[in-house]
Amino acid sequence: MSLAETVSKIDRLSAEERDCIEICNQAAEVSEWCADECLGSEEMERCARLCRDVADVTSLHARFMARGSDYSQHFAQACAEACEACADECEQHDANHCQVTAEVLRECAESCRNMADA
C-alpha cells in the first residue's frame, strides 16, 4: 500500500490535510536527494544544509498532521518558511536536482502556509 493510500484511510483528515501530508513527504524525499547530490561541494554546502533541515521539518509536520497533533499548525508555519528558504537557495543553482527540489518545495510551502492559516 502506498503512502497516499495509507493517508487516505485516515478519515478524520480533510482532503487539504491529506494533500499537505503527501507533498510534505515528497518534499522530504526530494530534499534528501538534493542534499546528497550537493555533498562534497563547498559552493553547495548551504543548499545541502537547508535541504536536510527541510527533510526533517517536512517529515515531522506530516507525522504531526497524521496524528492530529495540537502543534501541527505551528509546524506548518515553520515548514512553509523552511521550504521557502531552501527553494530560494536551490533556485540559485543550475543543477537539475536543485531545480526539481525548488519546484516541489514551492508547492509544499504553499500547502503548509494554507495549513498554518487554517
* Residue of higher predicted confidence among 77 and 118: 77
| CA atoms in the 13 A half-sphere facing the CB of 95 | 19
Which CATH entry fits the domain spanning 15-117: 1.10.10.10, 1.20.1270.360, 3.40.47.10, 1.10.3470.10? 1.20.1270.360
C-alpha cell at 1: 500500500
**Residue 104 in this model has a pLDDT that exceeds 70:** yes
**Residue indicated by cell numbers 515531522:** 60
Would you list the domain boundaries of the chain?
Answer: 15-117
What is the reported pLDDT for 3?
53
Q: Are 102 and 84 in contact (CB under 8 A)?
A: no
Task: Tell me the C-alpha distance between 80 and 105, whole Å.
Answer: 9
Q: Which of 6-15, 40-49, 67-76 has the lowest mean pLDDT?
A: 6-15
Mean pLDDT confidence for 36-47: 94
Mean pLDDT confidence for 52-62: 97
Decide: residue 9, CB within 10 A, 0-12 exposed, 13-18 middle, 19+ buried. exposed
Q: Are 13 and 65 in contact (CB under 8 A)?
A: yes
Task: Tell me the C-alpha distance between 1 and 33, whole Å.
Answer: 23
Mean pLDDT of the chain: 92
Condensed to tens digits (0 to 9), the pLDDT of residues 58-72 reads 999 999 999 999 999
What is the reported pLDDT for 107?
98
**Residue 5 in this model has a pLDDT that exceeds 70:** no
What is the reported pLDDT for 6?
58
Share of residues in the chain with pLDDT > 90 (%): 81
